[in-house]
Structures are given as C-alpha cells and as structure tokens.
Chain A
C-alpha cells in the first residue's frame, strides 16, 4: 500500500489491488498500549480500508506522511513537568508543562485519572481533553512531589 500527500493536505491511499481511496484518515487501534502498531486506515465515513500492522514496516517517506498526519490530527499533550496540583476547591487544578506548551487544566473527579498497566497515566480534564503523564519514576522530584497527594 502507498500513501500520497495531496496539495490540499489530505492523503490518498493506493491500495494493493490498485484501488485508490481519497481523503483517508488514520486511527490507532491501541493508542496507549501499542501506539506504533495496528493503525487503521479509514475512509471519510469511518470504514476501514486497510490496516498498517506496524509503522516500522512502512517505507521511510510513507511513514513520515502517516506520522505527520497523526501528529497533526491528534492532540494528547504529554506532560513533562507538573508545577502544581491545587486541590483546595474539591477538584484538582493542574499546572503543567507539556510537549505542547504550558497549560492549566482541571480534573473533576479522581476517576478521571487512569492508571495504565505500564505505569503511565492518562488524565482527562473537565473539557474532555486527554493528557498523558509518564511513569512516576520518570518524573523529576519536584513534579513527583506535586502529583503524589492526588494519585
């Protein structure tokens, strides 16, 4: 399979059977556990056309196209540093530095912080945005001190 980046920014899929699908979208089947594997290639209507078993199986140029698309069309900021978690008002207010810049968000309930089996965390804020946080062991001591009380 091949992917072509069109001038309007959309991507066309050239299937192995010679069939082309315009404006395809990509979705990770296991966004948290296997982000580089099992990437579903879907048409405009959300119907799967094919599946990329692993990004590493793609040619360099194709991989860049898919990776750029995924990066451009998904937004899960990765928390790098936690400055402060304020819990004074019954909900948590997180002040963090992410790979997308600094931001302050609110977490309404404890249940919105998910412990992933590999030790990482996914945090959903009050607007429904999802943030990823690395393992506790990968956090700097100041961040660790800030998050410990709420985990």
Chain B
C-alpha cells in the first residue's frame, strides 16, 4: 500500500489519500475538497473485501475498484449511524429509498468513526454539534500517530500496530546496523578492540607453526646435528613462550576494552530507553503490560550490548581464525589441506541444522516455562483469595499440570540434544582421524619436506582450531535473529513518537487564574463507545465543582482530559481561554495538582514523597504542608519521623494516612487547579473529619474538580455536575438537586446517606 503525502487541490490540503485510492478515483474528484475518507475491509457477507468511502461537501463516493464506484449525494442521506457488532461494526446510511452499509473489522474502526463524524456534520440532524472547533492539524497528526504513517525511506505506509517502525525497512540486518550506531561514541575503543582481536587471533594461530618446527627441526630433525637440534629446540621454545605471553597479554587487553565499551553501551541504551519511556503518552502504556516494558529496559538492552560488544567482535575473530587456519594449511601442504577440509560442508551443515532445531525447541520450552511461572505469579498475587476459598489444592494441581508439561518438553529437548551432540562431535573427531590416516600414509610412503611428522601435527592443531569457530558461526545466524528481536522491542519504544500533540510554539504563562471551559467536548477511548458526549461547562477560578454519577459515567475521563492525559476527540477544552493543546504540556501539568483515591507512594522517605511535586521545598515547608494536611502529628509519632521509609517494602500506612500524605504533597505543590479523586470506601469518623479538614484547607483559593462520594464534599461544592453515559444530565447545588424527582443525584445522595447512617450505627 503506497500512500501519497499532502495531495493539494484548489488550495485545500486533502487528508493523505492512499495512492491506490487515487488511482481508483481516476480524476473523479476534480476540484472538490475531501472532508474525510475511510477504508473498509468487509463485504455484506462479512468476508474480507477492500473498499473505500470518500466524503466531499456534496457527495459520498464509495469506491470498490476503478470501474466500480457508487455516488451518494449528501442531500439524499437522511441519517448516518454506527452500529456496533461483535468484532465488526457497520456504518449505516439511510436514504429515501435504500439502506447502505459499510462493514469493517476493528482495523478500520477509528477511520470509520472519523468519517461518520465528518458526515454527521453535513446532515440536518440536530444531535450533532456543527460549530465544532477542531484544529485541522490535529486530525493529520492523529492519523499519523495511528495508521497512515509513511516510512521516509521506502515510502510505504507503516501500520499503526508497528508503532512507527516500518516493518519493511527494519529488516533484521538494518536493525543491527542501527544498533551499531549506539556504539558510535566509543568507536576509537571499538576499533582498538577489533585490531587487538585480529592480533590475538594471529597469536592463537601461531603455536601450530611453532609446534611443527619443534617436531621437524629439533625432535625428529634427522638431517641435522644434535647441537643444532638443541639450538633449534631452545629457539622455538623461546618463541613459543613469547607467543603464549603475547597472546595472553593481548587477549586480556582486548577483554578489558570490550568490557568497558560493553558497560558504557549498556548504560547508554538503558538510559535512552528509560528516558524515552517517560516521554510517552498514557495510551502507549495502556496498550502494554508493565512486565513487558520492564523487560525492555533491563533484559533486552542487556542482550543487545552483549551482542554489540561480544558477538559482533567474535564473528570477526571466528572468520579470521578460519582464514588463518585454512591459509596456513594450504601453505604447508595443499593436498592434505584439501583432505582436511573435505568434511567441512557436512560439519557446517549439521551444526547449522542442529542450531536451528535447538533454537526452535528452546523457544517452545520457554513458552512452557513461562506458562508454569504464570501460575505461580497468579497464585502468589492472589494468595488471599486462594486461602479464603481454600483453593490451595486446586492451585497446586494447576501448577503440577504445567510443571509436568514443562518437564515432558524438557526431556524432549534433552533427547534431541543428546542425539545430535554425539553426531556432531563424532563427525569432528572422525575428520581428525582422516588426517592421521591420510597424513600418516603420506609420511610413511612419500616422506619429503612437505610430508613430515611436524606437518601432520600442525594439521591436527589447525583442524582442531578450526571446528570451534565453524560451530560458532553456524550459530551466529540464530544469535542475530535473537538480537534483532530484542532490538525490535527496544526500538519500538525508542521510535514511538513522544507524547503527541505538543506543538513547537507551545505557550508558557507566568501564572494561571484557573478558569476551565469545556466546549462541545466529546471523547472515546480507542474508537470504542464514546466516554464523553457534547459536554459544555464553565468553571470559574476558585470554584469547587463536584462530579457525580454512576461508575463509568465519564467522571475519570473528565479529569483525564483536563490533565491532558488524553486529547479530546471532539470540541475543545480551554484553560484561561486558551486551548489546552496550545499550552506546553509540562507547564500545564505543573499547574494542576492531583490527589488520587489510591495515592501512590514511591519507595523513599515520607519527606521525599511530600516533596515530589516541588523538590526544592525546605523542611519547614514540608512540615507546614503536612500540618495543613493533618499529617504532621502522626508522622512525627513514627519512630523515624519524616525519615520513615514508605512505599514498596517500607512501613505500611493505613489508607487514611496515605491520603493525608498525598494531600500534603498537593498542598506543597500549590497548584492553581486541583483535581480530587475521592475514595469510595469510608473511613472511621475521626480520620474522616481530619481528612475533611485537610481537604478544606487544600481547596481554598483553587479551582477544584472533585470526583465526589463523601456527603461533606458534595455539600461543600459550589456546584455539582452529574454525568450519565458521558453527558451532563444535571447541574446545580446540592440543595437544588437533592430533592429533584427522578433525579440521578437525588438517588445517589439517598444511597450515600443511607450508607453513612449504617456506618454510624456500627
């Protein structure tokens, strides 16, 4: 699929149309501007079949092929709706006399939803907002971030799932070249290491020649006098000693350099990946398991530097060793060299085949292993449930089953290995025998200066030296794929564009007043059911607004959008009259403070945790914040005071204590806009009162949006906003809403007071 960039028509920028679609349109569009388009992948019987739809201000063009196009005038369309099925959706258009369906799998869901949005705007249906202010650059960026990104190198579209890595261009070899780029800052050292490796390889090869001379010129040397033979022996022995010392020194130096480069490259890689992870959007994290991300930072980078530093240098060494061995053999006796090399194709073939086979079964073995450990992980994290339901026996059985499966697989692997291993080493040793037999025959029947005992020994030395690198080279293909897949995972992170939509000319302001405005805001997560629909609200500076509604009503989405964890899919959000997308993201978030219902405390001291939002705060300020949050007294009550370690492996704190620490954190951070996500669980009344008091202090003078459950918060709020299925359904003060007939808030309030009463009775 080849896509064309920015097709301009009549001064309008056409959203990047696929080149293929352009060809199929064949001039159909003329000068009409394109408002939107989508690809569809299913036909009326839900079979795979490609088609497109392009929207212009006056018509919708359905394109099946160059010959087969249907034109639907917008004026004829009475309604357009998206109907969600299971694994597939339909965009249904109703005209006067017929019904047109576009069917698509999940792959084109976002495209279709977008097209539907553009289309709705043209239809006389009052439920769709028309005055939507949606920056035109946004859709382009969105599309790029999702699917229709074009690879700069090959011009092909990069599918969304590839996370901006062009699958065509990131072939393993190219990935590996990119990998070597990481080592670029250390190129002098790398070159030194390669040079030393070459010299080292030479030194490793020398003893064979020296041995030959010791045998031929000293020990056997029948044509020479005894004193000359002794002289030769001493001479060659000295050379031998020199070679050994030289080879060890150079070998040691080589390893030292490689290890230094290795650790540095590893450090750089880990830093790069970790730094980049922090710049990515929540969307990225939502799609991936934390475990797999941790692996990327630790294991994958580790495997990579191992490859960059050791494996790549070793490949050079192996090739060189083989070349040296072969040339020395040919130099001393070419006939014997041919014979020595004759089993080579067989050995190379068998080793390669074994490597492939073992790689495959090791891969599968790994799957079995992880399935077994998954059971352990699952049961250990849920150990309370296991105990509560007396499920120990079942868990053990589940484990045993997988343990058994793994063992069976492992035995299979061992069998394969133990059958193949003797075959390979047998062939190697038999080819050694070949040298002795053929060489021995030559020495006995045709003794001359080439067919000597020394040459024979030289050959046995080099044939031995030769097999090891052959084996390693045969496995290097496997090593390359392994490194390539690690590299792929690491580059997937590195190549994901950082948190999207921050513009280059983003706005920084001295201070914020804290006025928030939602204009026709709509939002849906990953193309699913809308989470917010047409929300319009103004929140004044310093006002405290309570958000209520059933779970899933859109409260969390509401605050996520203010923090810009996600961007709206429709409409806009303004802070102090400026679109949040125009602000610098870092700056924006610094103006917003968040107190979550399950506050996360990092591993560190209490003081460090309170200081998280403002690392330069003094101890005095930290304590004042804690006092305001009613946390000071219990903190000082701890044996280690503010130096108490909390978080993972630290002192365990109660829910109320954690909340007050997070309130202190927010007070110290001193944001203009505050977001409170109240816990649903109730605390005992004294703690409740303390937290309430802390909250009151925190809230004053700030624009506050509270996801409220507590009666006291609801009553304290200047205004309540009730959400239902993503829409604002009620708005007003507690007094106004609490007695409203059939009101959602009235119902929520009733259950809330009921619960509070029951707790009070306890």
Contacts and interface: CB of A to CB of B under 8 A. Distances in A.
B484 interface: yes
Contacts of B49: 101
A138 interface: no
Contacts of B364: 148-149, 151
8 contacts: A8-B99, A74-B86, A75-B87, A90-B489, A100-B42, A110-B367, A126-B161, A127-B105
Nearest to B361: A149
A127 B89 CA distance: 13
A75 B360 CA distance: 33
A129 B86 contact: no
Nearest 6 pairs between A and B by C-beta? A126-B161, A90-B488, A75-B88, A101-B48, A74-B86, A73-B85
Contact of A100 (B46, B160, B167, B289): B46
Q: How large is the interface on A (under 10, 10 to 19, 20 to 34, 35 or more residues)?
A: 35 or more
Interface string B294-316: 00000000000000000000000
B85 A103 contact: no
Interface in B21-72: 42, 46-49
Interface in B482-497: 484-486, 488-489, 492
B48 A103 contact: yes
B161 A127 contact: yes
A75 B170 contact: no
B87 A74 contact: yes
Interface residues of B, number: 37
Given A89-B485, A106-B159, A101 B47 contact: yes
B87 A90 contact: no
Interface string B270-297: 0000000000000000000100100000
B106 interface: yes
B363 interface: yes
Contacts of A149: 360, 363-364
A61 B481 CA distance: 56
A77 B481 CA distance: 31
Nearest to A76: B87
A144 B35 CA distance: 47
Interface majority SS on B: helix, strand, loop or mixed? helix
B46 A88 contact: no
B354 interface: no
A130 interface: yes
B514 to A, nearest CB: 38
B128 interface: no
Interface in B139-196: 159-162, 165, 167, 170-172
Contact of A89 (B42, B87, B170, B292): B170
A93 B107 CA distance: 15
Contacts of A87: 485
Nearest to B487: A90
A151 to B, nearest CB: 7
B87 A129 contact: yes
B292 A100 contact: no
Contacts of B485: 87-90
Interface in B464-506: 481, 484-486, 488-489, 492
A72 interface: yes
Interface string B701-740: 0000000000000000000000000000000000000000
A100 B87 contact: no
B488 A27 contact: no
A93 B481 CA distance: 15
A100 B47 contact: yes
B626 to A, nearest CB: 43
Given A73-B85, A127-B107, A129-B106, A102 B48 contact: yes
Contacts of A126: 159-161
A82 to B, nearest CB: 16
A90 B161 CA distance: 12
Contacts of A90: 484-486, 488-489, 492
Contacts of A89: 165, 167, 170, 172, 484-485, 488
